[in-house]
Amino acid sequence: DAPAPPHLVFVPSAGMGHLLPFTRFIADLANENVEISVVTALPTVSAAEAAHFADLFAAFPRIRRIDFNLLPFDESAFPGADPFLLRWESLRRSAQLLGPLIAAAVPRASAVVTDVTLASQVIPIAKDELNLPCHILFISCATMLSLVAYFPVYLDGAKADHLVGDVDIPGVLRLPVSSPPQVLRNPDSLFTKQFIANGRTIAKSDGILVNTFRALEPEALSALNSGKVVPGFPPVYAVGPLKSSITMTTSTGSSDKDEGAAAGGSPMAWLGEQPAGSVVYVAFGNRHGVSLEQIREIAAGLEASGCGFLWVLKTTVVDREDTAELEDVLGRGFLGRVTGRGLVTKEWVDQEAVLQHPAVGLYLSHAGWNSVTESAAYGVPMLVWPTAGDQRVIATVVASAGFGLWMEHWDWESLVSGAEIGEKVKEVMGNEGIKARAAKVSEEAAKAVAEGGSSHRSMQEFLAKLKP
């Protein structure tokens, strides 16, 4: 008899930026000889996540779903906190329920794969309570992983409990104090506490899968794997760029089937009418609400650039709360003036499909890691304007890989003028050096995931270590 396949139990966290790499990785594994269960915390924070879970289970009926009913959690104790961060905390505080849930899985679980935001809770449960190997699927870049891993060492050295200066990560780079998540300056923030606890625990995991590829972050990967960052660190498997193989049926509010959801028509149909390389795609991720004032400046900039544009506009952190009318947000007359040349939508678009479209010549982005890996995979030059969190670290990676420009002095605290935005957009759209570099990075990405490529080999290495 052939041995039973290993059974992987995935415990993802909240937010599309966390969920998408999990579902992409899971979809990749669906062709391998493994059993898969996914722990689903309910209800999800955003509508996009709810729809995406539905898509996953519809696309792969063989994948089992383990419902995880969170314990009551009084969010009012953290007024003003980010709803996704609160969900991570709620997941962490309910983690003791995971032991019995995973122990009851059929067939018996052989390994757990979880998100870094849950690491300090889930690793001990998997390893000490259930005696199972536990891996992390790290959803940001390897450079950020090196920061997470090194930060506790840095704090010990600095005799501090928060970010106090540059972080010189051995073998990787010296991060100026302005680059790590700025909330780490506050020792009392929930984020800082989670970040440090997770950083201290990931070294006890059995391995870390990262959505990156060797050619994109060679130094960080070598330094992590040679123990330069943290001696004895577990193996880091660069398995990216992960791509979607799930058809988004329920979550594409503005796809071709839903004409008119965007001002100006359906994004994909509209892109089909634009000349090659002529359109700037504008999106700042699914968790960043842009201020009304800054929206007006971005609008002015796009109008002044003379370029075509497709803009996914968010005015609130959580999509369910975004009820503002486009015309009110953008200012009367704007949509009329850019008819035919620009399209603005508040709906979820299939960003991978957009970035693959030949009409798209530039991505004005918040530098969320998934977005960056998508741009890299499809060879789209970037103009990056980080909002918060890990995005300034990610912007460093984009700039050093050369396929994008990072506007370091553009922050979201002071207003960036439309005139400056328009100038930069025009400039990068015409920059042949960045275009050539983006094409090269895309070639390297394709090689990495092809049979025998570095990411393909890492994935095989990871699979070979799994036991039934």
Interface residues with ligand BUP (CB under 6 A)?
A: 15-17, 20, 283, 285-287, 312, 348-352, 368-371, 374, 389, 391
Catalytic option among 82, 115, 350, 390:
115
Q: How far is the CB of 263 from ligand BUP (least distance, A)?
A: 15
Q: How far is the CB of 463 from ligand BUP (least distance, A)?
A: 24
Using the Cα atoms of residue 294, residue 297, residue 299 and residue 305 in order, give the sign of their dihedral.
negative
Catalytic option among 7, 18, 288, 357:
18
Give the strands of the sheet with 111-114, arranged side by side.
Answer: 64-69, 35-42, 7-11, 111-114, 134-138, 207-210, 236-238
Name which of 217 and 352 has its Cβ closer to ligand BUP.
352
CA distances from 50 to 193, 248, 320, 442 (A): 28, 12, 11, 31
Phi–psi pair at 234, nearest 5 degrees: -65, 165
CA distances from 411 to 406, 419, 428 (A): 11, 16, 19
Name which of 35 and 352 has its Cβ closer to ligand BUP.
352
Phi–psi pair at 77, nearest 5 degrees: -70, -15
Q: How far is the CB of 83 from ligand BUP (least distance, A)?
A: 12
Q: How far is the CB of 326 from ligand BUP (least distance, A)?
A: 15
* Token pair of 359 as six digits: 């009409």
Name which of 370 and 454 has its Cβ closer to ligand BUP.
370
Check: CB of residue 70 under 8 Å from CB of residue 171: no
> CB neighbours (10 Å) of residue 178?
11
Q: How far apart are CA 395 and CA 365, in angstroms?
A: 10
Strand partners, 11: 114
Parallel, antiparallel or unpaired: strands 173-175 and 35-42: unpaired
Name which of 150 and 284 has its Cβ closer to ligand BUP.
284
Name which of 17 and 234 has its Cβ closer to ligand BUP.
17
Q: How far apart are CA 157 and CA 180, in angstroms?
A: 17
Q: How far is the CB of 354 from ligand BUP (least distance, A)?
A: 8
Using the Cα atoms of residue 363, residue 369, residue 374 and residue 377 in order, give the sign of their dihedral.
positive
* Token pair of 86 as six digits: 């609160």
Q: Which one-letter DSSP state was computed for residue 450?
A: S
Does the N-terminal peptide bond of residue 79 adopt cis geometry, omega within 30 degrees of 0? no
Name which of 55 and 374 has its Cβ closer to ligand BUP.
374
Q: Which one-letter DSSP state was computed for residue 41?
A: E
Token pair 């799994």: residue: 466
* Token pair of 151 as six digits: 């930060």
Phi–psi pair at 423, nearest 5 degrees: -60, -50
Q: Which one-letter DSSP state was computed for residue 283?
A: E
Question: In the annotation, is 166 catalytic?
Answer: no
Q: How far is the CB of 258 from ligand BUP (least distance, A)?
A: 13
Name which of 89 and 352 has its Cβ closer to ligand BUP.
352
Q: Which one-letter DSSP state was computed for residue 125?
A: I
Phi–psi pair at 259, nearest 5 degrees: -55, 140
Q: How far is the CB of 100 from ligand BUP (least distance, A)?
A: 30
Q: How far is the CB of 286 from ligand BUP (least distance, A)?
A: 4
Name which of 288 and 424 has its Cβ closer to ligand BUP.
288
Question: In the annotation, is 115 catalytic?
Answer: yes
Active site residues: 18, 115
